[in-house]
Amino acid sequence: MSSEVALRLDRLPWSRWHWRVVAALGVAWVLDGLEVTLVGSLGGVLERGDTLGLTATQVGITGSLYVGGAVVGALVFGRLADRLGRKRLFLLTLALYAGATFSTAFSTDFAFFALCRFATGLGIGGEYAAINSAIDELIPARVRGRVNLAINGSFWIGAALGAGLSLVLLDARVLGPVWGWRVCFGLGALLAIAILLVRRDVPESPRWLAAHGRAEEAQRIVDDIEAQVRAQHGSLAEVPFCEAVKPRDPPGLREVAHVLLRRYPQRSAVVLALMISQAFFYNAIFFTYALVLTRFYGVPDAQVALYIFPFALGNVLGPLLLGPLFDSVGRRRMIALTYVFAGIGLALTGWAFMQGWLDARSQALCWSAVFFLASAAASSAYLTVSEVFPLQMRALAIAIFYAVGTGIGGFVAPWLFGALIQTGSRDAVAAGYAIGAVLVIGAGLFALRYAVDAERKPLEEVAPLLD
């Protein structure tokens, strides 16, 4: 049963207050997209003797360290977010990100640069767990799907921003390579600091407070939110009386394992399939994007960033335009539709690539069309894991499945596709695309059969609180 606090939050009309929450919290994915694209765009520059003089292997190692840091950060800070609250953690993780990124701009050698990339990953990984939890717990149930998808899709706004920054600041007529790469990281840190100042006004999750015996504080926060919404929309609908939520200690790791494997094994299997397949699908393409363009289509290194923009556009528009359907048509049907058709699109693109029917421009357009669907699909995986497990362990559940999905799909896919591209064989690369297609199609069909119909339902109805 939902608590009074939950019912009061879910019945609120959309307001300026909700927009502020989305802007303040949703920037996590913009920052991640910025970081990933910056390093990809700056890789060649960092190999120059007048910058850091890294080797290609060292550039690759720093990418792995960033991903590894994100996995560790998700697990550590996800656990803390369930114990200490959402707000403390989404302030701490953003501060860590800002400090690490700012420090990156002052790197003088590989060791310091690698340490900064790992620390930056720690902050981003923690953001995923704390932010997804807070957003779901503050956004009304009837629009939770579209909002969550739109926020996750904003990763690609950051990707476009990173590509744009590298193109402008590395230009010899602006700053040039020697100083431009440092300013790129410095500007990322300044953006994070600006958002940190805005985040201070985002309250703690009243749902989390009520579940941890801080009912009076939860009531005060909801009273304040209602006052702001009432000032914009007028009177609000009454909420029926509900018994207070019975507080309890956060679950231990053994209880978390029991819930995931014994109480909700079907949900865990669905989430695992969705997370691993989307991680493989995305990392297979995105982390080898430049290699395909340069090796098979002869695109100059300096122009690779230009091809990020149409790719990013498709990734941003997919969640924005398809997101409302996850609340109206439903979770299971839309997850299946986006996963299956994204897989079919990738398989067809791989076939056209193998036959030599594409050039660099048409290849980029095909990827953009495929990821219009794939972006909504991947975002729905994060939406699913954030709403199908109990509140007291929500952040840790997000962290666990993010870590497993990223650890398997995120590490295997770039290595596999790098090896396939190294062969110089279009047939080999197309076979890799076929593997990614089979994985997401299988995950989509699995979700169609076993996923939860969570659309427009309070979180406490989707996954009751632990006793």
Res. 423: pLDDT tops 90: no
Q: Is 203 left (phi over 0), alpha (psi -120 to 50) or beta?
A: beta
pLDDT of 56 = 64
pLDDT of 164 = 80
DSSP tally for the chain: helices H, then strands E: 20, 0
Rounded Cα distance, 310 and 245, in Å:
48
CA triple 257-259-262, angle to 5 deg: 90
Res. 447: pLDDT tops 80: yes
pLDDT of 241 = 65
pLDDT of 166 = 77
Rounded Cα distance, 146 and 150, in Å:
6
Q: What is the pTM of this model?
A: 0.87
Rounded Cα distance, 339 and 265, in Å:
21
203, amino acid identity = P
pLDDT of 329 = 95
Q: Over range 244-272, report the average pLDDT.
A: 89
pLDDT band at 131 (very low <50, low <70, confident <90, very high): confident
b/e sequence 2-11, b meaning 16+ C-beta within 10 Å? bbbbbbbbbb
131 touches 27 (CB < 8 A):
no
Percent of the chain topping pLDDT 90? 38
CA triple 374-454-235, angle to 5 deg: 110
Instruction: Select the more confidently predicted residue: 58 or 379.
Output: 379
pLDDT of 201 = 86
Percent of the chain topping pLDDT 70? 95
pLDDT digits (tens, 9 = 90+) for 56-102: 677 767 777 888 888 899 999 999 999 888 888 888 988 998 899 89
pLDDT of 143 = 93
Within 47-55, residue ranges assigned H as helices are: none
pLDDT band at 342 (very low <50, low <70, confident <90, very high): very high
pLDDT of 381 = 93
Cα dihedral 34, 40, 43, 45 sign: negative
pLDDT of 139 = 92
CB burial class (10 A; 0-12, 13-18, 19+) of residue 407? middle
Q: Over range 302-331, report the average pLDDT.
A: 87
264 touches 384 (CB < 8 A):
no
Instruction: Select the more confidently predicted residue: 104 or 305.
Output: 104
User: Average pLDDT of the chain?
Assistant: 86
Of the listed ranges 191-200, 270-279, 414-423, the one predicted with least confidence: 414-423
Residue among 403, 390, 397, 388 nearest 70 (CA): 403
pLDDT of 332 = 95
pLDDT digits (tens, 9 = 90+) for 395-405: 899 999 988 88
Res. 156: pLDDT tops 90: no
pLDDT band at 255 (very low <50, low <70, confident <90, very high): very high
DSSP per-residue letters across 230-271: HHHH-S-------PPP---PPPPHHHHHHIIIIISHHHHHHH
357, amino acid identity = W
Res. 35: pLDDT tops 80: no
Instruction: Select the more confidently predicted residue: 274 or 179.
Output: 274
Contacts for 271 with CB less than 8 Å, ≥ 6 apart: 381, 384, 385, 388, 401
Q: Which of 49-63, 235-249, 256-270 has the highest mean pLDDT?
A: 256-270
Cα distances (Å, whole numbers) of residue 384 to 145, 304, 387, 402, 452: 9, 34, 6, 12, 8
pLDDT of 1 = 44
Cα distances (Å, whole numbers) of residue 124 to 174, 215, 245, 310, 432: 30, 30, 32, 25, 28
Contacts for 286 with CB less than 8 Å, ≥ 6 apart: 36
b/e sequence 235-269, b meaning 16+ C-beta within 10 Å? eeeebeeeeebeeeebbeeeebeebbeeebeebbe
SS3 category, 137: helix
Of the listed ranges 56-65, 153-162, 212-221, the one predicted with least confidence: 56-65
Neighbours of 106 (CB within 10 A): 12
pLDDT digits (tens, 9 = 90+) for 275-306: 999 988 887 777 667 777 877 888 876 677 77
